[in-house]
Amino acid sequence: MTVRTRFAPSPTGKLHLGHAYSAGVAHDFAREHGGSFLLRHEDIDGSRVREEYFAGIEEDLQWLGIRWDGEAIRQTNRRAAYDAALDQLRTMGLVYPCFCTRREIQEEWARMGAAPQGPEGPLYPGICRKLAEDEREERIDAGDAHAWRLDSMAASKATGPLDFRDLRFGRIRVEPGLLGDVVLARKDIGCAYHLAVVVDDAFQEITHVIRGEDLLTSTHVHRTLQFLLGLPEPVYLHHALVVDEDGKRLAKRHDSLAIATLRERGCSPEEVRKMANAAVH
């Protein structure tokens, strides 16, 4: 098997030390195995994407000595593939339209006494899962704005027990419904992270998905989607995260740790990669 890894940043800010580390791990892994390293811009959220960030990402990677193979792809060019995958899940009866506003969800949590909690925060309380088919159709025909959610319990029945392999953590059993009925197509943009990432990792023939451990919970959803869509199962490596001096995960607002800033201050690529490695916990 030829190893293929990728780096999949969202062009919504400047790359920082955390990105340098993640891209470096994925790149070095591919090179050590004589494989390929690919770049994918996850640019579906148009409200946060800025054109200059695409160029900034590519410039920073090149400066760091991280070269990708072939053309970088942009998710905004891949919409038809996400729509087709959603259609497939719709035909299987495993997704449902959700018309809820944020406020309606909050009101439901209040009614329930407490929101059901997931590892990433409160879970969708399932309001629209209970709608009758004719009501769904009526509202869609009337042009009511809606997202599409995965029916996580129905999905787990369809898949049966699943697991995935992580090079750091070993075999991990998929926990059905860990993140609840996640959104697979957002109301505002018509697509969403979980489905796009799974479709694109298969499209780019990624054999090893290397990314931060903050995405470990998402992999439970991704493995489920891969199985349902009949896509190959990659191996995972969820690496530890670069943290700031307070031990907190870096956010894009940490401008002082942006690669571009460090470069302007005269740091060398080697120094930046060393700084990143030293800040991993």
Name the burial class of residue 170, with classes exposed (0-12), middle (13-18) and buried (19+) by CB atoms within 10 angstroms of its CB: exposed
Interacting residue with ligand GLU among 4, 5, 8, 147 (CB under 6 A): 8
Cα 133 to Cα 153: distance, rounded to the nearest angstrom? 18
CA distance 73 to 8: 9
Number of residues near ligand GLU (by CB under 6 A):
7
* Footprint (CB under 6 A) of ligand GLU, residues 11-50: 42
Distance between CA atoms of residues 79 and 199, nearest Å: 10
Site string for ligand GLU, 178-197 (x = CB under 6 A): -------------------x
Residue 55 CB, shortest distance to ligand GLU, in Å, is 17
**Rg, C-alpha atoms of the chain:** 20
Binding segment toward ligand GLU, per CB under 6 A, in 7-15, 58-66, 129-137, 171-179: 7-15
Minimum distance, C-beta of residue 197 to ligand GLU, in the bound complex (Å): 5
231 binds ligand GLU (CB under 6 A): no
Measured from the CB of residue 93, what is the shortest distance to ligand GLU in angstroms? 27
Given the complex with ligand GLU, which of 157 and 253 has the nearer CB atom? 253
Q: Is 211 in the site for ligand GLU (CB under 6 A)?
A: yes
- 87: exposed, middle or buried (Cβ count in 10 Å: 0-12, 13-18, 19+): exposed
Tokens of 4: 């293929």
- Least Å distance between CB 147 and ligand GLU? 19
Nearer to ligand GLU, 7 or 96 (CB): 7
Residue 9, interface with ligand GLU (CB under 6 A)?
yes
Question: Is-contact 196 162, C-beta < 8 A?
Answer: no
Q: Where are the beta strands (DSSP E) in 135-207?
A: 147-150, 163-166, 170-173, 183-185
Report residue 68: phi and psi, to 5°.
-100, 160
Region binding ligand GLU by CB under 6 A among candidate stretches 5-13, 142-150, 236-244, 259-267: 5-13
CA distance 211 to 20: 11
Site for ligand GLU, rule CB under 6 A: 8-10, 42, 197, 211, 215
